[in-house]
Amino acid sequence: MPAHSDTMTAASILGEVTDFVRQHVITLEQEFLAHGYPGIAESLQALRGRAQQLGLWAPFLPIEHGGMGLALHHFAPISAALGYSPLGHYALNCQAPDAGNMELLCAHGSEQQKERFLLPLIRGETRSCFAMTEPEFAGSNPLHMATIATRDGDDYIINGHKWFTTGADQSAFTIVMAITGVDANPYERASLIIVPAGTPGYEHVRLIPVMGDEGAGPFSHSEVRFNDCRVPRTNRIEAEGAGFRLAQQRLGPGRIHHCMRWIGVCERAFDLMCRRAATRELSPGKTLASRQTIQNWIAESRAEIDAARLLTMDTSKKLDAQGARAARCQISQIKFHVAAVMQRVLDHAIQIHGAAGLCDDSLLSHWFRHERAARIYDGPDEVHKSVVARELLAHYST
């Protein structure tokens, strides 16, 4: 894979990525909507090869790790350009949860872990997943879980039950969050441990249907179990008890990636709604766009998308300049705000399309089903609002 030229500016990369999505990625969408991931897996793999040849690969990763070395605030608009299609992020190998796992392993993996798990992931030969949430415990509180990894000589024996493990279907390994120190303080009880696919005791229970679609491969969520699953202690990422800290670090940039992807969804929905409004005739010569309610939705959507983009860009710059801790409150703001903007924009776009907006031939229907989750994963709205309110109110208490 050719390293991308250092001299290439972020703006020209954005132009190239935008062209790539519009010319090549969008062409696979109808097949994807009709037949899901299995229907396009081969074509998508070929498209990934093309992206690699063009040097448009893993833009968020450092150059020395095979990426394009973009700062977060330079990657953010690229994430929006990729989000214009549901296939964009996968085409350039920056889809969740692999992107977060690559960042995690780049920063904290041992040399052996990098060689065995990270490099094939970066090259796009494998996929991975991240198993933290458990059906029996409130995922909003990541300290609260039952999966346990017990030491046995040079190994851990893992027992537990996880679900909504995105991309577990056919992934090469899972990074599992498990308790390694029952008596440690709550923030140091858990560790992150790599479990390779095929390890005895690692059970893929089922694909979880989400709003009528069980998906496949990178576009799916699974229930998994660890039944006396034995892995070497060298599969633990960083120190014992570092799991919670590492998982939190992983989420900071991940929320920028998601929010900008949602802005991309908004931009596509906006284009679709405007095109429909401008061309759908209610009577000869009278389009939907002539109606003030429709004009209001279009104007309000434009303002909401622009505001959401600016707030997210500002947050990405703060995160780059001052780190995740300083940007914590703003990260929480964008997480719930942009998710809500996306839902409103999609809803208006569907309403403007009438029945056609609900038909599964339409991206709008696809996104309305799959992006409802934005208000739940990576922290539900209510948790983020509480973080923001507490931080703001602290300035008013004496």
Ligand X SMILES: Cc1cc2nc3c(=O)[nH]c(=O)nc-3n(C[C@H](O)[C@H](O)[C@H](O)COP(=O)(O)OP(=O)(O)OC[C@H]3O[C@@H](n4cnc5c(N)ncnc54)[C@H](O)[C@@H]3O)c2cc1C
Contacts with ligand X, residue ranges (CB under 6 A): 97, 130-133, 138-140, 164-166, 221, 373, 376-377, 380, 382-383, 386
* Least distance CB 222 / ligand X (angstroms): 9
Query: In the numeric block, which tokens belong to residue 223?
Result: 């229930």
* Least distance CB 93 / ligand X (angstroms): 17
- Would the CA dihedral through 134, 138, 139, 145 be positive or negative? negative
* Least distance CB 373 / ligand X (angstroms): 4
Our CB check for ligand X shows the closer of 20 and 336 to be 336
Our CB check for ligand X shows the closer of 132 and 349 to be 132
Query: In the numeric block, which tokens belong to residue 192?
Result: 């992150």
Our CB check for ligand X shows the closer of 20 and 219 to be 219
Name which of 141, 130, 76 is nearest 100 in CA terms. Answer: 130
Our CB check for ligand X shows the closer of 5 and 140 to be 140
* Least distance CB 221 / ligand X (angstroms): 5
Our CB check for ligand X shows the closer of 138 and 143 to be 138
| Contacts for 33 with CB less than 8 Å, ≥ 6 apart | 360, 361, 362, 363, 366
* Least distance CB 60 / ligand X (angstroms): 18
Please report, for residues 279, 296, 362, 392, the alpha-carbon distance to residue 383 in angstroms, rounded to integers and kept in the order given. Answer: 42, 31, 32, 14
Our CB check for ligand X shows the closer of 169 and 304 to be 169
3-class SS of residue 305: helix
| Contacts for 25 with CB less than 8 Å, ≥ 6 apart | 47, 85, 87, 88, 91
Phi-psi region of 245 (alpha: psi -120 to 50; beta: other; left: phi over 0): alpha
Buried b (16+ CB within 10 A) or exposed e, 357-380: beeeebbbbbbbebbeebbebbbb
* Least distance CB 133 / ligand X (angstroms): 3
Do 172 and 196 meet the contact criterion of CB atoms below 8 Å apart? yes
Our CB check for ligand X shows the closer of 160 and 264 to be 160
Nearest residue to the partner ligand X, using Cβ: 139
Our CB check for ligand X shows the closer of 166 and 249 to be 166
* Least distance CB 140 / ligand X (angstroms): 3
Do 170 and 222 meet the contact criterion of CB atoms below 8 Å apart? no
Query: In the numeric block, which tokens belong to residue 231?
Result: 């892995």
Measured between alpha carbons, how far is 239 from 184 in angstroms, rounded to an integer?
Answer: 13
* Least distance CB 173 / ligand X (angstroms): 13
Our CB check for ligand X shows the closer of 66 and 139 to be 139
Torsion (CA) 27, 32, 57, 15 in degrees, nearest 10: 40
Measured between alpha carbons, how far is 172 from 197 in angstroms, rounded to an integer?
Answer: 5
| Contacts for 393 with CB less than 8 Å, ≥ 6 apart | none
* Least distance CB 381 / ligand X (angstroms): 7
Query: In the numeric block, which tokens belong to residue 40?
Result: 């396009």
